[in-house]
């Protein structure tokens, strides 16, 4: 079988969103779990920038951004039930706007809040306060509807929630004490759902010559237990 190859890291939020999109689109691939401090040579050969996720397609094309993998999955499969906010002319701009804000200013502040020791110029609480405009925006949307765009989760929720999960886990007690009650509800629903749990199965690091791990087969099996 000539399958796409996905280089991934279980705990990476970018890789999480790509894996969830692949499950939603029902796309099988060969999963290669990466250890970030010891990246496989075969991955660096196709994507020298050295970030995960990376997807190598059977025709040799390389997707080296998580959103590119999501877009590729959207084009390959009819997943309109999940992808519509990114496609509908009335929601497209705000949907991409939220993802850009997540990947830009929010991620910038999240990294500094999470790894405060590496950024001693400011206190962690200062970096945390920089996340508030984005969290406020999400909270407001979630008071109007259960998910960011309506009654059901979409790819926009999928693209953003792994980062909010990471944020919440930096100081759970603080997060629980905030007024972000809708955000907590939303996070808990997505985090405990079968989709997320299907992509969080643990795998040993991949080494050249290992037998193939079938991503989807594995994810679906996980979902069933």
Ligand X SMILES: N[C@@H](CCC(=O)N[C@@H](CS)C(=O)NCC(=O)O)C(=O)O
Q: Which residues bind ligand X (CB under 6 A)?
A: 9, 12, 14, 36, 50-53, 65-67
**Listed residue (82, 87, 102) closest to 20, CA to CA:** 82
Shortest Å, Cβ 156 to ligand X? 15
Task: Rank residues 55 and 142 by Cβ distance to ligand X and give the closer one.
Answer: 55
Min CB(51)–ligand X separation in Å: 3
Report the DSSP pairing between strands 62-63 and 30-33: unpaired
Residue 12 or 168: which CB sits closer to ligand X? 12
For residues 100 and 136, which CB has a smaller minimum distance to ligand X in the complex? 100
Question: Nearest approach, Cβ of 152 to ligand X (angstroms)?
Answer: 24
**Does residue 150 come out as left (phi exceeding 0), alpha (psi in the -120 to 50 range) or beta?**
left
Phi/psi at 35 (5° precision): -100, 120
Cβ closest to ligand X, residue 50 vs residue 133: 50
State the Cα–Cα distance between residues 153 and 82, nearest whole angstrom.
Answer: 7
Tokens of 55: 């997807």
C-beta of 2: minimal distance to ligand X in Å? 24
Residue nearest to ligand X (CB): 12
Closest CA to 161 of 182, 143, 144: 182
Q: How many CB atoms lie within 10 A of CB 61?
A: 12
CB of 173 to ligand X, least distance (A): 25
Nearer to ligand X, 102 or 142 (CB): 102
């Amino acid at each position: 079988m000539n399958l796409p190859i996905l280089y991934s890291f279980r705990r990476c939020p970018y890789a999480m969103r790509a894996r969830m999109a692949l499950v939603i689109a029902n796309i099988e691939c060969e999963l290669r779990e990466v250890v970030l401090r010891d990246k496989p040579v075969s991955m660096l050969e196709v994507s020298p920038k050295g970030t995960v996720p990376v997807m190598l397609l059977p025709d040799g094309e390389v997707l080296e951004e998580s959103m590119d993998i999501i877009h590729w999955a959207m084009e390959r499969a009819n997943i309109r039930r999940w992808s519509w906010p990114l496609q509908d002319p009335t929601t497209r701009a705000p949907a991409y706007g939220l993802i850009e804000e997540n990947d830009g200013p929010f991620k910038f502040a999240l990294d500094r809040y999470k790894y405060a020791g590496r950024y001693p110029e400011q206190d962690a609480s200062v970096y945390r306060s920089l996340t508030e405009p984005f969290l406020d925006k999400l909270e407001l949307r979630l008071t109007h509807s259960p998910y960011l765009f309506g009654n059901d989760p979409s790819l926009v929720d999928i693209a953003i929630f792994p980062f909010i999960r990471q944020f919440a886990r930096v100081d759970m007690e603080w997060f629980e004490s905030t007024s972000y009650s809708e955000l907590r509800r939303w996070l808990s629903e997505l985090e405990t759902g079968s989709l997320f749990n299907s992509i969080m199965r643990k795998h040993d690091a991949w080494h050249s010559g290992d037998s193939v791990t079938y991503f989807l087969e594995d994810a679906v099996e996980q979902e069933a237990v």
